[in-house]
């Protein structure tokens, strides 16, 4: 496993680990991904470069770990999508929120940085899927299964395809900046996805 967000040695300094991850997140926000350097991270964290190289195999792994906390629930519990009983309404809420998050400058730089690393590093992509994508996708599946139980979605629906149809166009548009990430677009996606799987 290329990243080690938790100490794998009792000797490891927790203080340094946190300082490095924090410094990395701050620097990505300040400079963007392209200008991020290991030296700057070490300097800002008040840490020797060797301490970074000792615990992470690549810059990408540091960046990844530093952003992992963004997706972690402080309470340790799993992520949960809203479930009012009305699938279409809930999906609109969630998709609009996702669109808004992409537009938030505080998330913009880090997520672009993360994508840059993942696109070019298959190992990191695997870790990403395991640590960040999977939990989120499982939460989405849970909500859709609940809808199936409620008879709002056919029982034989390919849930992963449904999720892809819903989210991929949104992510795509954000990555390539090919159009506005607004509520009408989010709503249109929800409508289209639901229509694609109606009986």
Partner DNA sequence: CGGTAACCGAGACGGTACGTCAAGTCTTCAA
Partner DNA sequence: TTGAAGACTTGACGTACCGTCTCGGTTACCG
Sites of contact with a copy of itself (CB under 8 A): 32-34, 112, 115-116, 118-120, 122, 125-126, 128-129, 133, 158, 161, 164-165, 167-169, 171-173, 175-178, 188-189, 192-193, 195-198
Contact flags string 22-41 toward DNA, x per CB under 7 A: -------------x-xxxx-
Report how far apart, in Å, the C-alpha atoms of 25 and of each of 28, 46, 166 are: 5, 15, 29
- Closest to a copy of itself by CB, 19 vs 124, is 124
What the block records as the tokens of 180 is 């506005």
Task: List Cβ neighbours of 79 (8 Å cut-off, separation of 6 or more).
Answer: 73, 135, 136, 139
CB of 112 to a copy of itself, least distance (A): 6
Helix axes 105-120 and 14-31, enclosed angle (nearest 10):
100
Q: Which residues bind DNA (CB under 7 A)?
A: 9-13, 15-17, 19, 35, 37-40, 42, 45-51, 53-55, 58-59
């Amino acid at each position: 496993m290329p990243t080690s967000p938790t100490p794998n040695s009792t000797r490891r300094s927790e203080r340094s680990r946190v300082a490095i991850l924090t410094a990395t997140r701050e620097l990505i926000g300040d400079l963007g991904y392209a200008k991020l350097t290991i030296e700057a991270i070490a300097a800002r964290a008040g840490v020797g470069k060797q301490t970074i190289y000792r615990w992470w195999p690549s810059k990408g792994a540091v960046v990844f770990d530093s952003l992992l906390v963004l997706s972690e629930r402080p309470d340790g519990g799993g992520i949960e999508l809203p479930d009012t009983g009305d699938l279409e309404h809930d999906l609109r809420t969630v998709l609009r929120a996702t669109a808004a998050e992409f537009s938030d400058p505080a998330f913009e730089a880090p997520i672009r940085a993360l994508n840059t690393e993942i696109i070019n590093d298959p190992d990191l992509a695997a870790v990403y899927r395991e640590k960040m994508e999977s939990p989120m996708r499982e939460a989405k599946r849970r909500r859709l299964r609940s809808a199936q139980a409620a008879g709002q979605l056919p029982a034989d629906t390919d849930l992963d395809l449904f999720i892809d149809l819903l989210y991929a166009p949104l992510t795509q548009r954000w990555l390539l900046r090919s159009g506005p990430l607004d509520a009408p677009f989010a709503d249109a996606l929800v409508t289209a996805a639901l229509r694609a799987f109606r009986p």
